[in-house]
């Protein structure tokens, strides 16, 4: 069973929260089978078997892998039905999540098989206290593969910001200490190959490195 000392409850991920991705998919969402863009956050869970840590090796899959990185909010106290104005007061700190997934084409219904591979969700390396982050919306997540930058995602580019997401999700489910929300991944997940080294960072916050097994 995979473990992570940071996440001890549930790891909630938000799909389709990159505004640039939503803009590109606008026409697609107005066609069958969708016929409309999503009006609420598209959520999925990374269950316990997916949890992993900084420095861990990621198992290769014959169907291939893509990766994205997200700013991740870690909760320090119970959060239930909060407002956006009060949402950040429940945050213990911030870290990073890598989501290694099988390539997918479904947007409204994240693929269970693709999202639930063992060890596919490293979180870390550390949690930076919320008091050290003046504004999470001002952060940028940078991802490199083998030293080459493949993604830069400003949190300000997310369709729904951190506080709004916490409010919405806390009105769906109670968030407990040790729960975490990965608030948004780049719309263009980057394909990785066997042996690739993936490093994501938020300047002044944390860095997360994993390698795909050779």
The whole-number pLDDT of residue 59 equals 98
pLDDT, mean of residues 66-79: 98
DSSP labels for 117-161? -TT-EEEEEEEEEGGG-S-GGG-EEEEEETTEEEEEEEGGGBSS-
Joined tokens for residue 141:
């997540």
Cα–Cα distance for residue pair 26/94, rounded to 1 Å: 31
| In the predicted structure, residue 151 carries a pLDDT above the cut 60 | yes
pLDDT averaged over every residue in the chain: 93
**What band does 110 get if pLDDT is binned at 50, 70 and 90?**
low
| In the predicted structure, residue 79 carries a pLDDT above the cut 70 | yes
Cα–Cα distance for residue pair 121/118, rounded to 1 Å: 8
The whole-number pLDDT of residue 65 equals 98
Cα–Cα distance for residue pair 200/151, rounded to 1 Å: 9
**What band does 108 get if pLDDT is binned at 50, 70 and 90?**
low
- Residue 56, C-beta contacts closer than 8 angstroms, at least 6 positions apart: 119, 122, 210
The whole-number pLDDT of residue 70 equals 98
| In the predicted structure, residue 1 carries a pLDDT above the cut 50 | no
* Domains of the chain (ranges, CATH numbers): 11-30+37-212 (3.90.850.10)
- Residue 3, C-beta contacts closer than 8 angstroms, at least 6 positions apart: 51, 53
| In the predicted structure, residue 109 carries a pLDDT above the cut 70 | no
**What band does 2 get if pLDDT is binned at 50, 70 and 90?**
low
Joined tokens for residue 65:
């892998």
Read off the pLDDT of residues 23-64 as tens digits, 9 standing for 90 and up: 887 777 777 777 777 889 999 999 999 999 999 999 999 999
Q: What is the pairing mode between strands 180-182 and 11-15?
A: parallel
The proportion of the chain whose per-residue pLDDT surpasses 70, expressed as a percent, equals: 96
Residue with tokens 């870390």: 124
Determine the 3-state secondary structure of 44 from DSSP: strand
Joined tokens for residue 101:
């997934």
**What band does 142 get if pLDDT is binned at 50, 70 and 90?**
very high
Asked if residues 70 and 41 have their Cβ atoms less than 8 Å apart, the reply is: no
pLDDT, mean of residues 131-141: 97
């Amino acid at each position: 069973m995979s473990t992570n000392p940071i996440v001890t409850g549930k790891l909630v991920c938000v799909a389709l929260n990159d505004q640039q991705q939503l803009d590109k998919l606008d026409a697609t969402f107005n066609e069958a089978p969708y016929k409309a863009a999503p009006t609420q956050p598209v959520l999925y869970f990374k269950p316990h078997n997916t949890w992993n840590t900084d420095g861990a090796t990621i198992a290769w899959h014959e169907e291939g892998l893509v990766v994205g990185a997200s700013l991740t909010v870690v909760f320090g106290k119970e959060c239930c039905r909060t407002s956006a104005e009060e949402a950040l007061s429940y945050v213990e700190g911030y870290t990073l999540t890598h989501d290694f997934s099988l390539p997918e084409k479904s947007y409204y219904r994240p693929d269970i098989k693709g999202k639930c591979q063992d060890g596919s969700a490293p979180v870390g390396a550390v949690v930076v206290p919320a008091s050290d982050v003046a504004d999470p919306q001002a952060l940028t997540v940078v991802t490199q593969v083998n030293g080459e930058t493949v993604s830069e995602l400003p949190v300000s580019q997310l369709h729904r910001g951190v506080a709004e997401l916490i409010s919405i999700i806390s009105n769906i489910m109670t968030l407990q200490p040790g729960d975490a929300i990965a608030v948004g991944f780049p719309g263009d997940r980057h394909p990785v190959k066997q042996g690739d080294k993936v490093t994501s960072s938020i300047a002044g916050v944390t860095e997360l490195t994993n390698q795909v097994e050779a």
